[in-house]
Structure formats: structure tokens, C-alpha cells
């Protein structure tokens, strides 16, 4: 194992005035990095990889990289430094991705709450167990969601604006038609669509 590894954090927010980098633990988990947040002294059964991040080897050749966490008050952290340009370009130094490059990280999405809700029944009891075994049949279906969409002619200006507003969450739309130019302007996402014959 190398004494130096490079940790890649994708889709992070850099705040120049902050000395420390903050990241949502769920962003690690979505990528597959295991986050053991409970401090060892609070665990009923402390383990070597307790209060640590477990990052899988990008090549699948080595056991996971274990990054032990420390406490500052009640905040878990680990010490890191920026690599030099020489270290970053050195192909012999392994690079571990802590977070995903894609899909776009959106902490306000309802996807995660829907998945969490699907794990419990109306009383809050666990109804689904996740297994890593490919032949495991331990999952239970807790809900079925279906949706239907009305077919709309979006070439008609008012319909196009309505469909765009519904699917893109636009705050305000205006349709303007002149001679052979149709323009739709949106202030919600600064979207400008132009249709010219």
C-alpha cells in the first residue's frame, strides 16, 4: 500500500474563505464509499473500520482504503493536504474517488426520500432487506408507482410553454411569435429557445 494516495472529490463546493472542506456523507454513500459515522467509543461493538471511510480500489485489485476519522467536538474529520502537481501527475500514486462524477449531485432531489420510504411500511417497520448476494430473494415490494402522460402537440406555442414549465420547473414563461420566428424565454433557468423555419 502506498503511503500517499490521491483522494478525488467530484462535484464539491469550494469556498475560498474556508480552511476545511465540508461534504455531505450521503454524497459519499451514493458513490459507494462506505461511511461509518459512529465514533468507536459510542459503538456497542467497535471494529477496526468503525468511525472511518472505506473507499474501494478503483482497479478492484486491493482491499478498500480505510480512512480513519477523528473528532473535533462532534464533527468527524480526517486530515488531508493538496497534492503537488508532480504527485497528481505521477501514475504510480493511486487515485481514489470519494464521490461520483455523475449523475449531477442534487441534494434537494426527492429520489432518496422515496427510496427510504420504500424500505418501511406505514408503521415505520422495515419491510425490505438489501443483500449483496445476487441470488438473494429478501426484497419485498412496498409500493408500485405508475404514471401516465397526456400526449400534447408541443409545436403549438401555448402547449410548448406549458409542457416546458411542467417538466423544467420554470418560474415564468413568455411566448412571442413574429413572422417566422418563435422565441420562448424563461427567467427560471435563463433558457432561450428559438425556432426558425
What residue ranges do the domains of the chain occupy? Answer: 6-105, 110-146, 157-195
- pLDDT given for residue 13 in this prediction: 79
Using one digit for the tens of pLDDT, what is the confidence trace for 131-190?
Answer: 555 555 555 444 455 455 455 565 666 666 666 665 555 445 455 444 444 444 444 444
User: Are the C-beta atoms of residues 144 and 51 closer than 8 Å to each other?
Assistant: no
C-alpha cell at 78: 480526517
Using one digit for the tens of pLDDT, what is the confidence trace for 67-125?
Answer: 999 999 999 999 998 899 999 999 989 889 999 888 888 888 898 888 888 888 888 88
Q: Residues 27-34: what's their mean pLDDT?
A: 90
Using one digit for the tens of pLDDT, what is the confidence trace for 51-80?
Answer: 999 998 877 777 889 999 999 999 999 999
Whose cell is 423555419? That residue is 197
Residue 40 scores a pLDDT above 80 = yes
For every residue of 62-124, DSSP letters joined together read SPPEEEE-EEETTEEE----PPPHHHHH-TTS-EEESS-SSSPP-TT-SHHHHHHHTTB-TTS
- pLDDT given for residue 187 in this prediction: 44
Residue 8 scores a pLDDT above 70 = yes
Q: Residues 15-23: what's their mean pLDDT?
A: 83
What confidence category does residue 128 fall into, taking pLDDT thresholds of 50, 70 and 90? low
Contacts of 187 (CB under 8 A, 6+ apart): 170, 171, 172
Amino acid at each position: 500500500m502506498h503511503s500517499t494516495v490521491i483522494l478525488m472529490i467530484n462535484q464539491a463546493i469550494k469556498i475560498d474563505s474556508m480552511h476545511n472542506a465540508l461534504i455531505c456523507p450521503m454524497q459519499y454513500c451514493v458513490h459507494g464509499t462506505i461511511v461509518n459515522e459512529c465514533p468507536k467509543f459510542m459503538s456497542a461493538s467497535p471494529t477496526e473500520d468503525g468511525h472511518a471511510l472505506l473507499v474501494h480500489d478503483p482497479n478492484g485489485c486491493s482491499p478498500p482504503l480505510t480512512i480513519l476519522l477523528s473528532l473535533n467536538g462532534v464533527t468527524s474529520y480526517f486530515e488531508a493536504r493538496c497534492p503537488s502537481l508532480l504527485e497528481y501527475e505521477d501514475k504510480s500514486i493511486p487515485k481514489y474517488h470519494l464521490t461520483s462524477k455523475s449523475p449531477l449531485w442534487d441534494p434537494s432531489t426527492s429520489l432518496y426520500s422515496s427510496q427510504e420510504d420504500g424500505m418501511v411500511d406505514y408503521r415505520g417497520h422495515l419491510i425490505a432487506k438489501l443483500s449483496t448476494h445476487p441470488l438473494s430473494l429478501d426484497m419485498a415490494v412496498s409500493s408500485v408507482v405508475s404514471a401516465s402522460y397526456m400526449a400534447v402537440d408541443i409545436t403549438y406555442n401555448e402547449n410548448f410553454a406549458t409542457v416546458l414549465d411542467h417538466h423544467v420547473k420554470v418560474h415564468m414563461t413568455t411566448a412571442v411569435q413574429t413572422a417566422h420566428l418563435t422565441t420562448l424565454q424563461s427567467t427560471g433557468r435563463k433558457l432561450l429557445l428559438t425556432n426558425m423555419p
